[in-house]
Structure 1
Amino acid sequence: MPRPRQRLPVFSSPNLIRQVSPVEKTDKKFMFLLCVLVVGIVGLSVVVFIAANLVGDQDYGKSEAQIALAKERLAPIGQVNVAGAAVAADNLVSVQAAPRSGVEVYNSICMACHDAGIAGAPKRGDKAAWAARLSQGKEVLYQHALNGKGAMPAKGGNPALSDAEVKAAVDYLIK
């Protein structure tokens, strides 16, 4: 009778011996280098953090003169007036600007449209274009300039102009 063959354990079977492929070697090498790189970056970050704390640990701006200057710069400019509190009238300054001439008003506002004839605006010096408008009367022209007409806003878009300044600009425009 033949002798029974002895069975080998599974892990020692020649078919199950694991061979390491070149791809696995490359993957292991990559993972090792990646770990070294991450540890190196973390280590460098710790060193930079410590160095920054050592160098930047100085007291700047702590002198009394610098603190006083900072308080002066940060002081409020004005104060809040509450209902019932007296308002300091002596601090108020009334500024009245001298009225501008018709030429100044025209050159600062009106010329933007009336020199180019934008949106049908009659050009300065165009007697034919102004003749039809002047036939309605100067007061109608003044009212159109003060209150606006068509694309032209009231007072040419500058509500700070006085009525006299607008009328002076109209007089200059129709010359």
Structure 2
Amino acid sequence: MTQTRLLSLLAVLALPLAGCGDNKSIDGEMSAQLTQPVAHVELAVAKVAPGSRTGEQIYTSVCASCHGSGVLDAPKTGDNAAWAPRLAMGLDGLVASANAGKGAMPPKGGASDLTDTELVRAVAYLANQSGASFTEPPIEGN
């Protein structure tokens, strides 16, 4: 009698396992919908012809990461007091400093693809946000 009860118990416990491996009960479409990513990211690289970037575009993509927050002792954009002694160097002096690199800033702020004119545009734009009134070189054709 004990063996019969044991076999009955094993049969009852094994019953749920009888359907294992049966993929017919899985809705493939529902499963695919439920396992979709939460977000989708697309990266697009915008190609800009050399020499055609504005000072603001260069500032936003290159300079703002340090000058926007003042990281690594970079003078913050708009801090006229911090920029006053630098602006006294004039546009040519600031461009020469940016071209060579200053302190933790690498030459051209690390954007080695900048043309000389683009560097002047970027420096003029940044300096003008901090009290200067330099003329940003125009983009040819505009």
8 Å Cα contact 2:83/2:127 also seen in 1: yes
TM superposition score normalised by structure 1: 0.44
In 2: Cα distance, 1:124 partner to 1:171 partner = 12
For 1:173, the equivalent position in structure 2 comes to 126
Moved segments of 4+, more than 6 Å: none
1:147 aligns with 2:97: no
In 1: Cα distance, 2:69 partner to 2:88 partner = 23
**RMSD of Structure 2 on Structure 1 (CA):** 1.6
The alignment partner of 2:76 has SS state of coil
The alignment partner of 1:150 has SS state of coil
| 2:61 equivalent among 103, 108, 111 | 108
> Between Structure 1 and Structure 2, how many residues are aligned?
81
8 Å Cα contact 2:108/2:119 also seen in 1: yes
Given the superposition, is the C-alpha separation of residues 96 and 136 from structure 1 closer, same or farther in structure 2, using an over 3 Å criterion?
Answer: closer
- Runs of 5+ consecutive residues of structure 1 not aligned to the other structure: 1-94
| 1:163 equivalent among 105, 116, 121 | 116
| 1:115 aligned partner, one-letter code | G
Which residues in structure 2 correspond to 1:1-175 (within 5 Å)? 96-97=49-50, 99-175=52-128
Measured against aligned partners, the alpha-carbon deviations of 1:23-75 in whole angstroms (never above 9, x if no partner) come to xxxxxxxxxxxxxxxxxxxxxxxxxxxxxxxxxxxxxxxxxxxxxxxxxxxxx
TM superposition score normalised by structure 2: 0.53
- Runs of 5+ consecutive residues of structure 2 not aligned to the other structure: 1-47, 129-142
| 1:166 aligned partner, one-letter code | L
Rg comparison, structure with higher value: 1
If asked which structure has higher relative contact order (CA below 8 Å, sep 6+), I would say: 2
In 1: Cα distance, 2:124 partner to 2:49 partner = 23
In 2: Cα distance, 1:97 partner to 1:148 partner = 21
Given the superposition, is the C-alpha separation of residues 134 and 101 from structure 1 closer, same or farther in structure 2, using an over 3 Å criterion?
Answer: same
